[in-house]
């Protein structure tokens, strides 16, 4: 079993973890980033043009992540591509467990984000990757001229709908309520796009198909009326599931499993901070990720310097 130690360990491979590690390394802190084994960038890894980032032209999520990783290494940080399986409190610090190593760290920032929630209706699990998809950027080209359904009412659902429509798909957005949570600019673009139609107060109750998606079953909330819609793919963007289980009982979590911190991003365990999409109260945008990462890095570095 490999062992190692560092002043600060940052756990996660998304924009929060990368930014926190970059900031801490820039401050002169001895940093180890435990970046998981997925594509760098986390939720935006597959997004071809992330938006809403001040002063920058739309950039691919992966490119943003790669630049941050280069910056971490350039400032003396170490990057390990493995997954944290657990964490233990130890005298004078914390110990991270991976399948093959134990890392001792003075402070830890948990920034393991979240994964897209899976659609939990009959047919959805069996047809996963056979038309039930969660990466519009990877798959949009396959659906030019074809009907697809996007489920959700947040920024991600609207962004991905616009991308699919921009690639020539005919998109039906199925929205459970009568209101949306997305940015007004995205909603207005979608409303003005003739390739996009909306089904309000409607729920997908089943994904239909044998080898591949051929349609969805729907229920309208007010009337309870049921119907079906032919389509070739279903893209659910129906929320996020925080990835904080590896923190065990060192942290307190809310009902959805997000980690509870105070305003300085401290968890209930001394020396353990949490930031980004894994944290309860996270704002949801990359600018929020960067803000929380900066605060967590500053707090952890100050604590290491003996300025609690």
Q: Considering the complex, state which of residue 40 and residue 123 has its C-beta at the smaller distance from ligand FAD.
A: 40
- Secondary structure E strands in the chain: 2-11, 31-34, 78-80, 86-90, 93-97, 101-110, 114-116, 147-151, 170-174, 196-199, 202-209, 213-220, 226-230, 233-236, 240-242, 272-274
What values do phi and psi take at 3, rounded to 5?
-130, 155
Binding letters toward ligand FAD, positions 238-257, x by CB under 6 A: -----x--x-----------
152 binds ligand FAD (CB under 6 A): no
Q: Considering the complex, state which of residue 79 and residue 229 has its C-beta at the smaller distance from ligand FAD.
A: 79
Residue range at the interface with ligand FAD (CB under 6 A); choices 5-13, 72-80, 198-206, 227-235? 5-13
User: Which parts of 273-302 interact with ligand FAD (CB under 6 A)?
Assistant: 276-277, 284-286, 289
96 binds ligand FAD (CB under 6 A): no
Burial class (CB in 10 A: 0-12, 13-18, 19+), 229: middle
- Residue 111: name the closest of 290, 255, 308 by CA: 290
Taking the C-alpha atoms of residue 200 and residue 182, their distance in angstroms, rounded to an integer, is 15
77 binds ligand FAD (CB under 6 A): no
User: Which parts of 41-60 interact with ligand FAD (CB under 6 A)?
Assistant: 42-44, 47, 50-52
Question: How many residues interact with ligand FAD (rule CB under 6 A)?
Answer: 35
The bridge status of strand 272-274 relative to strand 101-110 is parallel
- State the residues that interact with ligand FAD by CB under 6 A: 11-17, 34, 36, 38, 42-44, 47, 50-52, 83-84, 111-114, 116, 156, 159-160, 243, 246, 276-277, 284-286, 289
């Amino acid at each position: 079993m490999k062992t190692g130690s560092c002043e600060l360990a940052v756990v996660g491979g998304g924009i929060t973890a990368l930014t926190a590690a970059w900031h801490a390394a820039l401050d002169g802190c001895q940093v180890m980033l435990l970046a998981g084994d997925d594509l760098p960038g986390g939720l935006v890894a597959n997004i071809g043009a992330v938006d809403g980032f001040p002063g920058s032209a739309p950039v691919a999520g992966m490119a943003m992540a790669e630049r941050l990783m280069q910056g971490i290494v350039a400032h003396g940080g170490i990057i390990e591509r493995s997954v944290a399986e657990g964490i233990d409190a130890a005298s004078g610090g914390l110990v991270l467990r991976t399948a093959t190593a134990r890392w001792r760290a003075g402070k830890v920032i948990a920034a393991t984000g979240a994964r897209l929630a899976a659609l939990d209706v009959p047919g959805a699990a069996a047809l996963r990757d056979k038309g039930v998809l969660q990466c519009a950027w990877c798959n949009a080209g396959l659906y030019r001229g074809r009907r697809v359904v996007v489920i959700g009412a947040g920024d991600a659902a609207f962004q991905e709908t616009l991308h699919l429509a921009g690639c020539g798909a005919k998109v039906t957005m199925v929205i459970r309520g009568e209101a949306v949570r997305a940015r007004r600019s995205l909603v207005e673009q979608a409303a003005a796009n003739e390739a996009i139609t909306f089904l309000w107060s409607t729920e997908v109750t089943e994904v239909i198909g044998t080898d591949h998606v051929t349609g969805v079953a729907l229920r309208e909330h007010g009337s309870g009326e049921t119907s079906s819609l032919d389509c070739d793919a279903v893209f659910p963007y129906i929320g996020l599931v925080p990835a904080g289980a590896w923190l065990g009982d060192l942290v307190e979590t809310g009902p959805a499993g997000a980690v509870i911190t105070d305003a300085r991003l401290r968890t209930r365990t001394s020396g353990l901070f949490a930031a980004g999409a894994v944290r309860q109260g996270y704002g949801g945008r990359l600018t929020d990720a960067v803000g929380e990462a900066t605060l967590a890095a500053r707090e952890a570095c100050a604590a290491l310097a003996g300025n609690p």
